[in-house]
């Protein structure tokens, strides 16, 4: 008799009014041993880094419009 069959045999001996409790225990066991969740999109976005001039965040609009270019002196 393998383990699955032994477990099923034991379940057959559990009173019906206790099966809900066993079911919750099995669910908890499965959740505790489940694979870790894959990182979500926000976790992935947090890992993105960029290289730019020190004033890039402060002058983003100027860089996007072309009024300021990377390599220009920072005032």
In the numeric block, which tokens belong to residue 44? 């992935």
Q: Return the ∠ at Cα 43 (arms to 38 and 45), rounded to 5°.
A: 125
Report pLDDT for 43. 92
In the numeric block, which tokens belong to residue 22? 């066993």
Global pTM? 0.44
In the numeric block, which tokens belong to residue 62? 């100027």
- Per cent of the chain over pLDDT 90 is 63
At 47, is the pLDDT very low, low, confident or very high (cuts 50, 70, 90)?
very high
Decide: 53 and 73 in contact? Cβ < 8 Å. Answer: no
């Amino acid at each position: 008799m393998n383990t699955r069959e032994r477990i099923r045999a034991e379940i057959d001996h559990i009173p019906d009014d206790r099966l809900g409790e066993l079911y919750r225990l099995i669910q908890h066991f499965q959740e505790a041993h489940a694979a870790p969740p894959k990182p979500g999109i926000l976790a992935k976005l947090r890992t993105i880094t960029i290289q730019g001039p020190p004033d890039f965040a402060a002058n983003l609009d100027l860089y996007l419009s072309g009024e300021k270019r990377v390599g220009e002196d920072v005032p």
